[in-house]
Chains A and B, each alone.
Chain A
Amino acid sequence: MSVYQSNNLNEKESSRTLSLIVDNEPGTLARVIGLFSGRGYNIESLTVTEVDDRRHLSRISLVTRGTSMTIEQIKSHLLRLVPVHLVRDLTLEGPFIECELALIKLVAKGANRVEALRIADTFRAKTLDVTLSSFVFELTGRPHKIDAFIGLMQSLGDTEISRTGVSAISRGSETETKILEQIKVN
């Protein structure tokens, strides 16, 4: 929106998950992030890794917030970037899967250790590292499940958290293969 008026549509902001196919080359991520910071949009989560090594394409999964007008702007601006080939709005398109991986270190003693293992079991977290005074758990799942697990761990002792951010994909049999095939292999 312009400086002259704040967004006066009564619509509330909501969270949206976007999925982008971009060239894996220097500067692409800087362009995407620069667009968000330069235009005052939020990034709640962003993950990126190469997914097509012949065409050197990466997927960026990105969670942002805004009204539908803002989201439309974000998508149009993203598509203007030269190395961005595809911008999908998974939230708008239909059912999709969101998943995140978290590593959680807990330092705890006595009964709290037993409780931690019991909770980890309930959440189907894996135990990756154990010492007499600590654990490292690995947990995957929807962000709010991870939030809940972390909340519980924090009440049992000192924690250290590392999360990957959301990776997302649409449900069903549809793929992007046709679109990606139009991108020439260099």
Chain B
Amino acid sequence: MKNNLEMNGAEAVIKALEENGVEIIFGYPGGAVLPLYDALFKNKKIKHILVRHEQAAVHAAEGYARSTGKVGCVLVTSGPGATNAITGLTDALMDSVPLICLTGQVPTHLIGTDAFQEADTTGISRPCTKHNYLVKNVDLLCNIVHEAFSIASSGRPGPVLIDLPKDIQLSNVTYTNKIIKTNKVKKNKNLIDLATISSVAKVLVNAKKPIIYGGGGVINAGPEASTLLTELVDLLNAPVTLTLMGLGSVSNENKNFLGMLGMHGTYEANLAMHNCDVMLNVGARFDDRVTGRLNAFSPFSKKIHIDIDKSSINKIISVDYGLVGDAKDILYALVQEIKKEKKKKNNTSISDWWFDINEWRNKKSLNFEQKGRIIKPQQAIKLLYEKTKKIDTYITTEVGQHQMWAAQYFGFSKPNHWMTSGGLGTMGYGLPSSVGVQIAHPNSLVIDISGEASFLMNMQELSTIVQYNLPVKIFILNNQWMGMVRQWQELNHGSRYSESYTESLPDFVLLAKSFGIKGLLVSEISELDNAIDEMISTKGPVIADIRVEKEENCFPMIPSGAAHNEMILSSSDSNTNVSQDGIALV
């Protein structure tokens, strides 16, 4: 009788996935992965979700990973399957999402011969993965898969690719279990630097104008990190702002929350960043969308930076204190230290600082006026938020104005409920991502807040949604423009709208109908309320085509090349002229 540890390479890979806790794998078959699909066919535990494009497989796995905290898993074929996955992998790398991507490869003896569907997958994906492997020796296979999971999920998470030649998938191998010790996973040598934490605690307790600025690292460190960050905010009674990636780590309803910061952040968040005397950055990376012009960035502050990736510290902004480590561990130690410090003396009064902040808040930088019959996109998001507040709701987005409006007007009270492409800004991320989220949370409400142009980039996933009966709601803010491009052309290029009009759009209701799902057309403000209700109460998937004000711009805004304190609140603002240097920026 065959020993039950004897199997072929493909079966060993699937067994290793199982051992590493994989329940769902997103993929698309092809010649070079047929043995893997055969092994999946025989497997009872792992469910395969058939997407309609490999890029979507990766985004779906990202949505799955980001909404659960688990490692997402992808399986695609060689050549075009692998190259189609590249955008998704880059997206995952930029946003630190833990993924395993299995790619098929031509048999080892054909590698380098320009064989059918051969691509240099490890070469192409090297700069867009945290690590990658080409398996040439089947005896190393099990270890490689186990190691890949440890690499993807440890330290700063990221995507790991394993390229599997077809002959390796078919070779016999003895399965080996996961062993913990491997040379490849960097031991966290960064023991918590208690001395620095104690200095930082003193600096924070003595700050007159503190600001806490949290990012995606807090979300990645798990829900406890979010709880600890909130505790820290309460202890110091400090104002807190979050990056696009950090939304939800402190509740939007927390009285100290100033909203998102950065290019389309609130006036109060950006001015607090500019005028603070102590800045605590937790798990954010001083991204250029956040800092504005660097030589005018927060000129009066002592800066403290907590990050798991040492290379993030002092990369863009020189800081006074750098703490390398997991946000949860460092926040825990910092909270203890601050409690001790506070017993010794009361916090410095920061009521003057709150007075300033409240003045900035009174500017009401997110104000807009819903007048007339045409729907303001901001109003659509605001209403969507109000109507889904009491429901466990997950939001994914595409990229553009609608994404920023979602970040500004939808409130996130919990971590892991907001999935958006931050670092790479990938149009077409939201729909496949919502597939992954809905698979992970079958009973929750999952909404893709979309733009009509972005939707067209991965709309083939409607078919996936229908196949698995996923009740995803697609909420399209249809302005018939690549709105964000149009806005930049208006502000920076004399309103010369070169190729940014979205021509020849489909009838979204008919499109929905053709897939057998519900479509809603919402053209006037009077219909919005009922339409959202209908969308939410519909059991299956829905496409809601929300016709919004076409030329609405996204404000407030830090124009390209400007500083936090130079932000503009509306098109009529006098500062709208962008410098020549600014125009050159992305």
Contacts and interface: CB of A to CB of B under 8 A. Distances in A.
Most buried by B among A3, A183, A184, A186: A3
Given A3-B585, A30-B123, A183-B183, 5 more contacts: A5-B294, A69-B314, A76-B310, A80-B156, A83-B184
Contacts of A79: 186, 310-311
Nearest to B140: A186
Contact of B314 (A26, A30, A73): A73
Interface of A: 1-5, 8, 23, 26-27, 30-31, 34, 38, 69, 72-73, 76-77, 79-80, 82-83, 85, 183-184, 186
A34 B126 contact: yes
Given A73-B311, A76-B311, A79-B310, A2 B131 contact: no
A73 B315 contact: yes
A2 B134 CA distance: 33
Contact of B130 (A72, A76, A82): A82
B163 to A, nearest CB: 11
A4 B585 contact: yes
A3 B586 contact: yes
A83 B185 CA distance: 9
Contact of A3 (B182, B288, B313): B288
Residue picked from A2, A31, A34, A73, most chain B C-beta under 10 Å: A2
A82 B184 contact: yes
Contacts of B181: 184
B580 interface: no
Output the residue of B131, B134, B291 with the most chain A CB within 10 A: B131
A3 B286 CA distance: 13
Contact of B294 (A2, A26, A27): A2
Contacts of A85: 183
A38 B126 CA distance: 11
A2 B314 contact: no
Given A2-B316, A80-B309, A82-B151, A30 B183 contact: no
B311 A5 contact: no
A72 B315 CA distance: 9
B500 to A, nearest CB: 23
B31 interface: no
Interface of B: 122-123, 126-127, 130-132, 134, 151, 156, 181-184, 186, 288, 291-295, 309-311, 313-316, 318, 561, 585-586
A73 B156 CA distance: 16
26 contacts: A1-B316, A2-B316, A4-B293, A4-B294, A4-B585, A5-B293, A5-B295, A23-B183, A27-B126, A30-B123, A31-B126, A34-B126, A38-B127, A72-B314, A73-B311, A73-B314, A76-B309, A79-B311, A80-B156, A80-B311, A82-B130, A82-B131, A82-B184, A82-B186, A184-B181, A186-B183
Contacts of A5: 293-295
B293 A27 contact: no
Contacts of B294: 2, 4-5
A59 B307 CA distance: 29
Nearest to B561: A4
Nearest to A185: B183
Contacts of B131: 82
A4 B291 contact: yes
Contact of B132 (A3, A27, A69): A27
A72 B311 CA distance: 8
Contacts of B126: 27, 30-31, 34
A26 B127 contact: no
Nearest to A9: B318
Contacts of B132: 27
A35 B130 CA distance: 12
A23 B140 CA distance: 15
A5 B294 CA distance: 6
Nearest to A31: B126
Nearest to B131: A82
* Most chain B CB neighbours (cut-off 10 Å) among A34, A73, A82, A183: A82
A84 to B, nearest CB: 9
Q: Closest 7 interchain pairs by CB?
A: A76-B311, A5-B294, A82-B131, A4-B294, A76-B310, A77-B311, A2-B316
Contact of A8 (B293, B295, B561, B586): B295
Contacts of B561: 4
A55 to B, nearest CB: 8
Contacts of B315: 73
B183 A2 contact: no
Contacts of A184: 181-183
A2 B184 contact: no
A82 B183 CA distance: 9
Contacts of A83: 184
Among B130, B151, B292, B310, find the residue whose CB has the most chain A CB atoms closer than 10 A.
Answer: B310
A81 B100 CA distance: 17
A175 B156 CA distance: 30
A28 to B, nearest CB: 11
A180 B291 CA distance: 41
A183 B7 CA distance: 30
